[in-house]
Structure 1
Amino acid sequence: MNRINTLHYASITSLIGLIFLCVAWEGWLAPLRPNGSLLVLKVLPLMFPLFGILRGKIYTYQWSSMLILMYFTEGAVRAWSDKGLSQYLALAEVVLSIIFFFSSIYYVRYCSKANKGG
């Protein structure tokens, strides 16, 4: 049971961290345009799974693990193409999305085993 709690909190922490990172990045740290960018709206899809993840809903974990791959891809592309602070923020996005992805799929795996009695 302790492993499930650890994975659950890792998912929560990485998802909330990714939300704050995206808002700060596109809002004022390194936006595409000097006064901020509408790219800050990329955070909206991350809000959809937030409450399901907080409640530990298996179905939310399943589909959000696929959603997070968009953020991994964006972070990888921008880490490769951007320079300066934006490049480091993109690397942070990659790390947070990887943490969320693996903690989500392992959370689903261990919860499924626990429910089957294995």
Structure 2
Amino acid sequence: MRRLTLISYIPLLLFVAFWQFSTREASLGQLPTYLSVVLWVVPLLLPLHGIIKGKPYTHAWANFILVWYFLHSLTTLYTHPDERVFAAIELLLTSLAFIGATGYARYQGRVLGLGLKKQK
């Protein structure tokens, strides 16, 4: 699961940066390209160190960031027919990263004994 996260999360980061630089329509409204890149790339950079180090807690909370990109790809698939290929690639990479991060956090959390205590 960790490998799945790595082989999908890092390409997602690179792909989002490429998409923001390659198409002007991908940016948010009338924002300059550099600001749009910052708004779309920086959130993916936040958990990158912990994902590379293999920290299960970081894998778990990175999913909250991945949901933003998942929703973005679904919205773009529906609203921008000319960017459907980009949106489909983003959806695939985001889904794989989400599945990998969730699986790794769950497995590694059990191994380390991290979990919610059951109520009596």
The Cα of 1:56 is off from its aligned counterpart by 0.5
Specify the alignment match of 1:8 in structure 2: 2
- Normalised TM-score (structure 1): 0.82
Specify the alignment match of 1:72 in structure 2: 70
Q: Hey, what's the Cα distance between the residues in 2 that align with 1:31 and 1:20?
A: 17
Specify the alignment match of 1:19 in structure 2: 13
Q: Hey, what's the Cα distance between the residues in 2 that align with 1:12 and 1:72?
A: 17
The size of the alignment, in residue pairs, is 106
- Normalised TM-score (structure 2): 0.81
The Cα of 1:58 is off from its aligned counterpart by 1.3
Q: Secondary structure at the match of 2:81?
A: coil
In the alignment, structure 2 segments of 5+ residues that lack a partner are 114-120
Specify the alignment match of 2:24 in structure 1: 31
Q: Secondary structure at the match of 2:24?
A: coil
Identity level (%): 25
State the Cα deviation string for residues 10-62 of structure 1 (Å, max 9, x = none).
1112111111111111102x2327xx723222111100111100000111111
Q: What is the 5 A alignment of 1:1-118?
A: 7-28=1-22, 30-32=23-25, 37=33, 38-41=35-38, 42-84=40-82, 86-116=83-113
Q: Hey, what's the Cα distance between the residues in 2 that align with 1:58 and 1:109?
A: 8
**Structure whose residues are more often helix by fraction:** 1
Q: Hey, what's the Cα distance between the residues in 1 that align with 2:106 and 2:57?
A: 12
Q: Hey, what's the Cα distance between the residues in 2 that align with 1:19 and 1:63?
A: 16
The Cα of 1:107 is off from its aligned counterpart by 0.5
The Cα of 1:115 is off from its aligned counterpart by 3.0
Q: Which amino acid aligns with 1:79?
A: L
RMSD between aligned alpha carbons? 1.6
